[in-house]
Chain A
Amino acid sequence: MSTTSTRSTALEKRSFTAAASDYINDRTGLAVAIKGLGRKAFPDHWSFLLGEVALFSFIVILVSGTFLTFFFQASMAEVHYDGSYVPLKGVEMSVAMASTLDISFDIRGGLFVRQMHHWAALLFVAAIGLHMLRVFFTGAFRKPREINWVFGFILFILAMAEGFTGYSLPDDLLSGNGLRIIDGMVKGMPIIGTWTSFLLFGGEFPGTDIVGRLYALHILLLPALIVALIAIHVGYVFIHKHTQFAGPGREPTNSVGPPVLPIYAAKAGGFMFIIWGVISLIAALFTINPIWNYGPYDPSPVSAGTQPDWYIGFADGALRLIPPGWEFVWLDRTWSFNILVPLIVIGGFIVTVLLYPFIEAWIKGDKREHHIADRPRNAPTRTAIGAAGVTFYAGLWAAASSDILSTHFSLTIEGVTHFLQAAVIIGPFIAYFITKRVCIALQKKDREIVLHGYESGRIVKLPGGEFIEVHQPLDEYERWRLVSYENYAPLMIRPNARGKITAGQRARAGLSRWFFEDRIAPVTKGELESSHSTHH
């Protein structure tokens, strides 16, 4: 059958949509993609929305940011402010600050867009963070998704870089002090520090170049990288197909959920508008970064309780927690360990998180693809490691507000600092042990439910006078949710072909023991049967 004949016969009853899609397809060949992807299944779970929150808030950032570039001028030339905000009239400030004030006070809706941009940025980083926690705690980083974890993690770093370069642009007192801290940290680096600072600022701090340079990074280089990485990241979600939680009918070999067209498109598309609406609501009602209260940058004044945007807090907190005296002169050079140590610790933390999927894969030796998301309780050691990491991060983050904590709760700053120093070191261990025990307890509860059913609350008196509570057995679908998880045994050391036990094998066996020594195996058919027979 030739194409022309099918088209001519079909034309009379064709709708406009069909005709239009035909027209476009004949010129683009998109039908293959539509047919392939249009009914693609998207597994459903509330936690899968977190990545979408990040994506949708990024769209807000792009659009609102473009609007801001039309009015913002990234120049540090000095002017006397002559806008509508009376308290600052006549004050000498940079063009960057003055144009930011104009956006806020002289352009209708400008403040709204500026606040949307800033709130969306805060939400963007927060959503990425939560999305990463979801991926971590459900083991969704396992093969074949390790590399996509790395891409996602780089996106997290880039998002923080975007945030920092962005809030440094208005050249107000708060952002200037933030840059001053960066300058101090750069100068503290061995060998390259001093020169790097001069390159960055185009001479002595603060110079007149930094805002323009950060602006180029903020609106050109970083967004381009983020857009490209998002494309790759989301592309891989399509290629890998989304993970799904265990459930009846869900196999490692399938992907079950509503089709992209129409339900997923309606729900995700609608969700996008909801996210935009929420950002808009916050921007309409709540002030963010009121630079008019801070005033233009001046190296001399500073307000108490200065805070960076939330996602930089952990780095600032790390600086605050260093005890006095960690700086030495050696070989006639200054070694600023009070700056190096936080950088190294944070760097080590970041690299560990980045490499975690590869570490866990090596310990398990598991080379299979994994498409069923773990329930966190079913991977107790990983969940406990995650909780330890979260506690460590939270300790550093809290430290960034140590002064505010001490003023609000009438504590001494020394007490808060010392407590957090201890919390950052001891806290992760406590969190680790508690989480692991809670996971194992939850697994035991699941086992109990599978073996004996739910307590129904119905008390029955038996003919012999005995009272029993009737337990309601699970149906096979509920049971499957509770028993279908992977169980790993510790690796046993065996000599290799040449009769040797290598150091690598030993390390791996040790780690494997640490991971899997305490474990609760899923209930098997035999166990369920024997539990029934003992009951009746």
Chain B
Amino acid sequence: MAQDDHSGTEVAAADSSHAAPEFAGSTGTAVIPHDGFENPGFEPHRPRVTDEDASRQKRAQRTVYTLFYLSILGSVWAIAAYMLFPIESNDVGAVRLNNMFVGLGATLALLGIGFGAVHWGKSLMTSPESIDIRHPIGGTEATKAGAVEVFREADEESGFSRRSVIRNSLIGALLVFPLPAVVLFRGLAPQDQMPVELLSHTMWAKGTRLALDPSGVPIKASDITVGSAFHVIPEGLNDLEHGRLEEKAKAAVLLMRLEPSELNQAPDRESWSYDGIVAYSKICTHVGCPVALYEQHTHHLLCPCHQSQFDVANHCEVIFGPAKRPLPQLPIAVDDEGYLIAQSDFTEPVGPSFWERS
């Protein structure tokens, strides 16, 4: 009963009730049962209630025009609301009312038209179902042959295939001519900047005071209580004329004070902290979000974007999440006046990894 066709390239001898001859191609592995059911043809047309009952028809008619009138009402209301609910200066409530009443008017205007038209179409318009005949998308064999013939003639007359030197040189020229346009896009980046150089340095330098973000007030070591955390920027950042955000995107730092006994410091980094106060880059080493959430009792930092977690007690090494590298540590000290200062810039690039970083 089942007829298997084992290759897509063979044309099946498909006598299919599903496909008219003009649609026949290979049926592939489709099984065409010889005693399948035949399409019974269209069901008898079923009239709607509005076709048979004059009063229902009247009612549908009333519904449709009422909806259209409601729509007009909505439009008028939206215009009126524009004027009746002005946005008084400095009042968010007025904005809310303006938004709501203009919006509700427009909604009524649109839904009135929409539901009215749909109801009209469904209950009153009388056209029966249309039946279109489908033709193969590829057209007839003659059309296909005609198209092939057009290309053959064009080739013949132009000598596109025959004159291969002309053709190949044209193809070469066409391939090369967009290249200058591509090169022009080099100008998108400033010509005098070295990305790797820029990414490797921040505003921090020997002696730069640590200041509060966003006020820029320098921080005294004595103001930092155990367990507290501060968002820090380099002093002078707010005075930058240009590039303030770019510098901040690299220089943002988190300052935390732990009990010195809780810090497991590497011997070579013991001098980087001051009395349990440590400073780490705030820019996540994954894709650069600010690592802004500090959980005091576990000493963990959490990046709210992709949930990388860093352990402040262990040089901010990654304990969870997609980041790989620890947050870079900023070596700090205290100056004569008791203010926290940087010993130097970060000793490695901050923020997300990049190709040339090693």
Contacts and interface: CB of A to CB of B under 8 A. Distances in A.
Verify that A and B bind, or say they do not.
yes
Interface of A: 39-41, 84-86, 104-109, 111-112, 115, 144, 177, 180-181, 183-185, 187-195, 197-200, 202-207, 209, 239-241, 248-259, 262-267, 269-278, 280-281, 283-285, 297-306, 316, 319-327, 329, 332-334, 336, 338-339, 362, 364-369, 371-372, 402-403, 413-414, 417, 476-477, 479-480, 483-484, 486-494, 512, 516, 521-526
A239 B137 contact: yes
Contact of A190 (B118, B289, B355): B355
A198 B249 contact: no
Given A108-B102, A271-B114, A524 B132 contact: no
A41 B132 contact: yes
Interface in B310-358: 318-325, 351-358
A180 B18 CA distance: 56
Contact of B131 (A252, A254, A302): A254
Interface in B215-245: 231, 233, 243, 245
A365 B137 CA distance: 19
B40 A248 contact: yes
A366 B30 contact: yes
A371 B134 contact: yes
Contact of A338 (B86, B282, B322, B354): B322
Nearest to A39: B130
A39 B19 CA distance: 25
Given A41-B130, A199-B185, A487-B30, A194 B358 contact: no
Nearest to A416: B307
A446 to B, nearest CB: 13
A255 B134 CA distance: 7
Given A108-B102, A206-B245, A324 B287 contact: no
Contact of A326 (B131, B196, B246, B324): B324
13 contacts: A84-B91, A144-B137, A180-B249, A181-B289, A255-B132, A258-B130, A270-B113, A274-B111, A283-B103, A285-B100, A417-B321, A486-B30, A489-B31
B37 A524 contact: yes
Contacts of A272: 114
B146 interface: no
A320 B117 contact: no
Interface of B: 1-2, 4-9, 18-20, 22-31, 33, 35-37, 39-43, 82, 86-87, 89-92, 95, 98-104, 106-111, 113-122, 125, 127, 129-134, 136-138, 185-186, 188-190, 193, 195-196, 198-199, 213-214, 231, 233, 243, 245-246, 248-250, 252, 282-284, 286-290, 292-293, 302, 304-308, 318-325, 351-358
A479 B37 contact: yes
Contacts of A189: 355
A84 B98 CA distance: 14
Nearest to A479: B37
A274 B28 contact: no
A329 B322 contact: no
Contact of B245 (A188, A240, A297, A484): A297
B308 to A, nearest CB: 8
A366 B43 contact: no
A298 B233 CA distance: 12
B130 A251 contact: no
A250 B67 CA distance: 35
A408 B282 CA distance: 26
Given A194-B356, A298-B214, A207 B39 contact: no
Given A248-B41, A302-B304, A366-B29, A198 B193 contact: yes
